[in-house]
Structure 1
Amino acid sequence: FDAEGRLVLTRRAKEKMLWPNDWDGTFASHPRKSETYVSSGERRMPEELGITGKLDYLHKFEYHVPYKDVGSENEICGTLVGIIDKSTELKEIDGEIDEIKWISARELISELNTNPQNYCPWMLIALELLEKSEQPMLEKYSNILSTWMSNEIHEGLQKAIKVHLPKEKWRLVNEKN
């Protein structure tokens, strides 16, 4: 996010097997055996965006969603947050990211109303669950996250998530790391 609450979205590379060319959250990682979600994210950030920064843990969820007849995702995702300056140069990485854009909550909902299929379901779930994040993090990032937690935003996210998968295929996981 930037200080105004806009989120960095990345378009998945066309070479990706699952959800190629779809818009995703800023970046993702799979923690190694000795890593937390935060250390994994901080390790992966330079590899995917060409920048470094500090991240904080918000929440964890699990989901299962098929993608056409190609495969499926069955993941546990830790959601992280960090603030970067909008003027920071982010890099598109061949084979990972084909495009980068900044988006506000209202702009995202507007796009979801017409093209929800162009957005990765796990990103939508992560945003939908923001209000379930740990209280100290909600307080620390309140000026940014609050714009993503209105009824209008929830309704738009829930509608878009249903395009990809039913409610019983995703849930919040309460334990940390």
Structure 2
Amino acid sequence: MSKHKTVSFDNEPLILVDGEDNVTGYETKVNAHLGDGLLHRAFSIFLFTENDEVLLQQRSGKKPLWPLYWSNSCCSHPRRGETYEQAVHRRLREELAVDADLKFLYRFQYQALFGDSGAERELCSVFVGKVPAPVRIDVNPSEIAAWRWMPSADVDRLIAEAPDRVTPWFVMEWQRLRNEFRAEIDALRPRGMISAA
């Protein structure tokens, strides 16, 4: 029997927001992603090592949107009554069984359709952290099919050569990290990585 718990639920309420991140209501996760999607609060996390590697995850094949696509280290939604700070650390523990110091970099709005299956329409806050290498993680198989630490230059190549294998938000976020935030990422100190088990 797996020690990992199921941490995502179709009926969990997502926080609906306007473009300024003001709460406008709540909707179940499944309904918020139907059709063109409803704008909701979300976050993405990128974990780097001091060797300029970044943790990528391959999304579980059971995900209704972008199953088995490669994406950033961790991403999800804050829950009702939860701050961003609480949400990002909770999700790191749930998906990777680790925690780390994280820095908020920026927030952006996007919409991406996945055929007729639904859409992501998010106001997404992007966080980064740096951890010492080598790092031992323990992925939650209900969320993650595979994972790897990849040099940043190889991530550039993956996105350029296999855009159909990566999630659209990851591509948008990575390009902005590389173009606008290299100095902030380089300045991060590797610390705070602990086992959450």
Query: Could you tell me the TM-score, scaled by structure 1's length?
Result: 0.72
1:76 aligns with 2:120: no
SS at match of 1:141: helix
1:30 aligns with 2:74: no
1:45 aligns with 2:92: yes
> Aligned partner of 2:87: which letter?
S
Could you say what the CA RMSD is over the residues aligned between the two structures, in angstroms? 1.9
Q: Which has the higher contact order (CA 8 A, sep 6+)?
A: 1
What do the CA deviations read for 1:30-89 (whole angstroms, capped 9, x no partner)? 113443333311111010001111111011111101002211110111100111123221
Listed as ranges, the gaps of 5+ residues in structure 1 are: 145-177
Structure with greater helix percent = 1
CA gap of 1:37–1:128, structure 2 versus 1, over 3 A, is farther
| Shift in Å, 1:4 | 1.7
Aligned mate of 1:86, from 133, 137, 141: 133
What is the correspondence of 1:105-120 to structure 2 with a 5 Å cutoff?
105-120=152-167
Of structures 1 and 2, the larger Rg is shown by 2
What is the correspondence of 1:4-153 to structure 2 with a 5 Å cutoff?
4-130=51-177, 131-132=179-180, 139-142=183-186
> Aligned partner of 1:22: which letter?
Y
Structure with greater strand percent = 2
Aligned residues: 140
8 Å contact kept, 2:56–2:73: yes
SS at match of 2:61: coil
> Aligned partner of 2:50: which letter?
A
What residue is the counterpart of 1:170 in the other structure? none
Q: Give the 4+ runs in structure 1 shifted more than 3 A.
A: 33-36
| Shift in Å, 1:100 | 0.8
8 Å contact kept, 2:159–2:171: no
8 Å contact kept, 1:5–1:143: no
State the percentage of identical aligned residues.
Answer: 27
| Shift in Å, 1:118 | 0.4
Listed as ranges, the gaps of 5+ residues in structure 2 are: 1-47, 189-197
CA gap of 1:106–1:25, structure 2 versus 1, over 3 A, is same
SS at match of 2:135: coil
In structure 2, distance between residues paired with 1:9 and 1:141: 16
8 Å contact kept, 1:38–1:56: no
